[in-house]
Amino acid sequence: MQHREPPTDPFVRQLVSMMNSGHSRRSALKLGGAAALAAALSACAPPAPPLATGSAAAPAPVLPVDVSATEKTVNFANWTAYLDYDEDTKKYPTLEAFMKKTGIKVAYTEDVDDNDTYFNKIAPQLRAKQDIKRDIFTFTDWMANRVIREQLAQPLEIFDMPNVASNLLPSLRQVSFDPGRKYSVPWQGGFAGIGYHKKKVGRELKTMDDLWADDLKGKITVLSEFRDTAGLLMQAKGIDLAGNWGKADLETAFAEVSKRIADGNIRRVKGNAYLEDLKSGNATAGVVWSGDLFVLRAETGDDDWEFVIPESGGTIWNDNMLVPITSTHRKNAMQVMDYYYDPAVAAQVAAWVNYVCPVKGAQEELAKTDEELAASPFIFPTDAYLTEKKIQGFRALSAEEEAEYGALWAKVIGN
């Protein structure tokens, strides 16, 4: 048998590993055994979320009566393609196992396409204390900050969640928007970068400027999260995302997006729905989230989809589970959160979603069945990888900046 050197690109290595081991975004990872792997494969934590402004104010609002003891249900709102899924049964294996174990029925919905869109939909009801029929919702750091600041989330009891208390990565325990994790628990994290179809594009895309080539006009999609799309453009102009940049720097990036929309380079500005344009072939490249390119390859069977961090750098973020202020099933919701901090369960999810895993011990569990996948920097990034690729978190915005910049961005993308 001819010996082949392993691919050096981490994205390709991860996909080869998944295919060779039978793992995919559409198949559950079967984990076994309880023995820990050697410390050489110990998990490296993603960086802490960027500083955020405004933690929850006191006194806390009056909470609704919790009926978890008599109503064994949870309604969980999450993003698209963000939980292990079995295409044959049309079910979520880890969720099915949780329901069998606990007797708690979980209704799981892919409600969240974009932070702003989902928040603006439910916030009026939450402020009026009207039940939104959800017990867990998932928001990115900056929006989780806003939810907590506006007292729209219920406090959690970390000591009633032993897996979370033991297995939350140390770098994610203390975040300025939620000191001590009193209101939020990280779900997954990820990167924003460039995604493209190698065969259709016909060349490598390495920089943000590469997206604006004439032959790609009208075939580019970018994310509606300005911290990712504008953030990558700011990095391309040499701006330190975590530094003390100002409004003018952001406006320069916004102006670039406006120009590319007007010139016809950008086809769409979307949330998670951008995947549909890539699947249909209406778009062949764009600003994307890292894990989504794996689900795209698995769903289409097309291994020409590629994800790269631009030469100028990429962005990193974490999504967080919170309990809405109107939920009457908080204790049940906490059981769901704690379940997903079992390292074996977290490894099963990580093998499917391919996003940055926040659970200590998950890397060792995954390595029992797939050492290559467990070594992926897209799931368990090392400090060296983050530094080499110039990956940064977008600096925290004040409430005033959020409102002003959000309004400017809405005009740019036509909302």
Same domain, 228 and 363: no
- Quick check: is 386 in a domain? no
Lowest mean pLDDT among 45-54, 233-242, 361-370: 45-54
Same domain, 49 and 141: yes
CA nearest to 375, candidates 23, 10, 88, 123: 10
Q: What is the CATH number of the domain that holds 269?
A: 3.40.190.10
d(C-alpha 66, C-alpha 329), whole Å: 6
- Quick check: is 357 in a domain? yes
Same domain, 214 and 350: no
Same domain, 145 and 259: no
Place of tokens 């065969």: 199
Same domain, 307 and 297: yes
Q: Alpha helices of 131-197 — where are they, by DSSP H?
A: 141-149, 162-167
| Count of structural domains, the chain | 2
Same domain, 289 and 246: yes
Same domain, 327 and 219: no
The bridge status of strand 391-392 relative to strand 185-197 is unpaired
Give tens-digit pLDDT for 135-189: 999 999 999 999 999 999 999 998 899 999 999 999 999 888 999 999 999 999 9
DSSP state of 63: P
Give tens-digit pLDDT for 14-38: 544 444 444 433 333 223 333 333 3
Same domain, 261 and 138: no
How confident is the prediction for the chain on average, in pLDDT?
87
Over residues 61-74, mean pLDDT:
95
Over residues 242-266, mean pLDDT:
96
Same domain, 405 and 370: no
Please state the pTM of the whole predicted model. 0.83
pLDDT given at position 49: 55
Per the structure block, which two tokens stand in for 90? 């049309």
Same domain, 291 and 348: no
- Quick check: is 11 in a domain? no
**283, 205 Cβ separation under 8 angstroms:** no
Same domain, 256 and 323: no
- Domain of residue 306: give its range: 190-316+394-413
